Amino acid sequence: MKALVLSGGMGTRLRPLTYSTPKQLIPVAGKAVLEHVLDNILAAGITEIGVVVGDRADQIRAVMGDGSRFGARITYIPQEQPLGLAHCVLIAREFLGDDDFLMYLGDNVLPEGITEIAGNFAAQRPAAQLVVQKVTDPRAFGVAEVDASNTVTRLAEKPAEPRSDLALIGVYFFTSAIHRAVAEIRPSARGELEITDAVQWLVQNGACVKASEYLGFWADTGSVDAVLECNRRLLDELRPQRLGEVDDASDLTGPVLLAPGARVVRSRIEGPAIIGPGSVVEDSHIGRYTAIGGDCTVRHTLVEDSIVQDGSSLSDVRGLSGSLIGRTASVTATRRHRLIVGDDSWVEVAS
């Protein structure tokens, strides 16, 4: 089985961060979202991975490489315009061949993994198997209607009046039957080849399409709040590790991951929290659910429930909470504020 990871989206809800960084490379719990995706794929025993990329291909390639450091082989598949999920299958035809494959949206995080669902698909081999989850408001999703045997009877894309609460969450398993379906459909009203239309074609033409309900935590990391929620969830599973330096005047409580080269001086850190490699924390309080990237500087600052990306500095910020700070940003403040700061920014907040 192969995997097809879709990483060409624009990430408009994460601007200004995504003006300079692909949304799939935003870090949660110290690691890019795309790396969490690869973890799940590899755990399912899949090592041949195609990654569909758009105009940020060079940045994704620089982080992910050829896949060898993960124990995988990555093939990059360029998509000139975002023309729909089924279009990704179409342009990946040569890579996929006639193999079964897993299609996975590159901004989705499923910490409990998909290994069991992948095993069920491999054993039963329906034409398609959709991973779904019950949601409160299905109108924003593709929705699957299923019978008592979890066979899909109908799909609807963002229905105004949903007849099911089972939302498609961006993970799909396919046999080569999907290629015929993709060839038969036409672009939707928004000009895209919709994967829901392709799967609906399979259903209407008598193919077996199954739904598997994912019961764990799931996050589409397309917004700031979703990124922070995902960060909290993953940090709850953090295993403490002290590979950096901590002076006698500092206090670390709860699970804290202190990466190599990190230094903590006269500071308090409440886990779960991550201090990245080469970062320095001085005279500061790092609260719960905070992930500090590599080569950051935090001085005279209280920060909690936040993500600070590589190379950034915080100084005299006495109460930063629920924030997402881009790479190489500099933030100074004296009062509690919530900031969403893009890469290479300089921010000064008046006291």
The tens digit of pLDDT for each residue in 194-214 reads 898 999 999 999 999 999 999
Q: Which CATH architecture has domain 2-234?
A: Alpha-Beta Complex (3.90)
> What is the CATH class of 239-348?
mainly beta
pLDDT digits (tens, 9 = 90+) for 48-65: 999 999 888 888 898 888
Inter-residue contact 89 to 178 (CB < 8 Å)? yes
Q: Which residue from 86, 113, 323 is spatially nearest to 225, judged by alpha carbons?
A: 323
DSSP letters along 256-301, please? Answer: EEE-TT-EEES-EEESSEEE-TT-EEES-EE-TTEEE-TT-EEES-
pLDDT digits (tens, 9 = 90+) for 89-136: 999 999 999 999 999 998 888 989 999 999 999 999 999 999 999 988
| SS3 readout for 299-334 | ECCEEECCEECCCCEEECCEEEECCEECCCCEEECC
Predicted confidence at residue 14, as pLDDT, reads 64
Average model confidence (pLDDT) across the chain: 89
Q: What is the mean pLDDT of residues 166-173?
A: 92
Domain with CATH 2.160.10.10 in the chain: 239-348
Q: Is the model's pLDDT at 336 over the cut of 70?
A: no
Q: Strands 31-32 and 219-220, how do they pair?
A: unpaired
Predicted confidence at residue 344, as pLDDT, reads 67
The values of phi and psi at residue 8, to 5°, are: -110, 5
Q: Is the model's pLDDT at 335 over the cut of 60?
A: no
Q: What does the alpha-carbon distance between residue 324 and residue 11 come to, in Å, rounded to a whole number?
A: 15
CB atoms within 10 A of CB 176: 14
Rounded-to-5 percentages of helix, strand, coil across the chain: 25, 35, 40
Q: What is the mean pLDDT of residues 213-236?
A: 88
> Which of 13-17, 81-85, 285-289 shows the lowest per-residue confidence on average (mean pLDDT)?
13-17
pLDDT digits (tens, 9 = 90+) for 276-294: 999 999 999 999 999 999 9
Predicted confidence at residue 310, as pLDDT, reads 92
Instruction: Name the burial class of residue 126, with classes exposed (0-12), middle (13-18) and buried (19+) by CB atoms within 10 angstroms of its CB.
Output: buried
Q: What is the mean pLDDT of residues 69-93?
A: 90
Helix H or strand E segment including 128? strand 128-134
Q: What is the mean pLDDT of residues 146-154?
A: 90
The values of phi and psi at residue 307, to 5°, are: -120, 125
* pTM of structure: 0.86
Inter-residue contact 78 to 189 (CB < 8 Å)? no
Domain with CATH 3.90.550.10 in the chain: 2-234
> Which of 5-14, 19-28, 234-243, 300-309 shows the lowest per-residue confidence on average (mean pLDDT)?
5-14
